[in-house]
Structure 1
Amino acid sequence: MKSELETAASNIVRSMHSRLQSNGIRIHEGSSSVHQIADLMHIAEDESIERIAEVGFHAGLSSFAFLGANKRATVTSFDIGFHECVPHAKQFVDEEFPGRHELVIGDSGRTLPAYREFHPDAAFDLVFVDGGHSLDEARSDIENLVRMCRKGAKIIMDDIVPEWPWGVGPTEAWEKVTASGGVREIARHFAEPSTDVFLNLLAPGPETRPVSHCWAIGVVQ
């Protein structure tokens, strides 16, 4: 039997998929699994969390999950803005959670430091890193977000899957940052290999092959 959070996560996926599909948008690359969305919701439920930031908005699933799980929280998303789904997902998130979501478009290597400069008092309680997949991009995103976190804030690092090409950089970046002492890893969460949540709603094909998924959770020191 699915947990309540997994049911809620499934509903988020189907709602966003329906909204994007009605606008003629099809997702052509990976998004969070239902299991991960449920886990993000569980982490965000913590009453001490009020400000959340993420790198990688894409189809808005993680933002939707955070905002739905925590009625007190706001989310600031940083996204390159390349994918056509971004403005449509942003509109849907704003309709569902008015005034609680901020989207910053541009290269996070530049927009994160700029945001910190203009918001020197920013102190996030939870951050989610799911942006560029090279070592330099992933490490830059982690380090820039950590600088805007309060001590004790939670940080979630996606794609700790070095067995896949897109997971090599994020995994190495995470290991370097945790080795430096700035972040202490407290857990790694895994999802059983499954097809991508959006692609799974489409007809089976080569792009729906099962993939493994792992994300790490840490605490800012």
Structure 2
Amino acid sequence: MEVESKEQIIKRRKEIEQDIVDMLSGAESDFTLENVKEVIYNEESQDDLMKAISMFDTGKIPEELENILELTNDAWNYFPHKTLKGLSPAEMMLKYEKEDKKTKPIKILKSKKFTAKQKDLLWSGDGKGPYSQANLTKQIRILDDSVSRVFLIVEAEINPTTFEIIKNNRHDNEFKNNVMIQQLLDRAEYRGPQFGYVVAAFEEEYKDNEVLARAEQALKYTQESIIKMHNYVIHKYL
């Protein structure tokens, strides 16, 4: 993402707003542009991002997934965020440039060979590391002697070698504008060699089938993100 002028940012934001209106209309969605902007403004977790994505995806046109993800990424980059004090990431980059607060670039991993530790924790070959997986589980919360509430939870378990390689290369063109993968990298916790890196991608009380549909969408998007990460390791290192 390149630094743009204020005028360029405003122009691009208007274009994205129109694209969102058109896509919502094409998907016959009940959501509006303001709904999308509100979710992004208050976005604090992977779950919130999934809510924005689910506004576009009816599940009727699978080939539209790439367009949906791209549009959501654009909206995330150009729409205001509460956590950024009402600015968008694009505006923050412009602000940093104007204040001449250039941060030290993160070093990208150049080597295409595994270290001994990475090889040992790989999911295949001579590696003894865990498989990556996306899980959808039903969590039953019990209070006293009865069921309190039921939640649907989507979690990603990412192979340690895969996770660390992608994190070191997160500014590669394949990942730098992928909001979902960037959030997975930021929020995952290491749970040891048995599970690798674990991150919650969705959690919502199971009140009706609409929640189940959103959970299944989150599972699908999480799966796609993990596959993209694995493909990078396979093509660059194996």
Task: Using structure 2 for the length normalisation, give the TM-score.
Answer: 0.24
Q: Greater share of strand residues, 1 or 2?
A: 1
Q: Which protein is richer in helix relative to its size?
A: 2
Please, what TM-score do these two structures have when normalized by structure 1?
Answer: 0.25
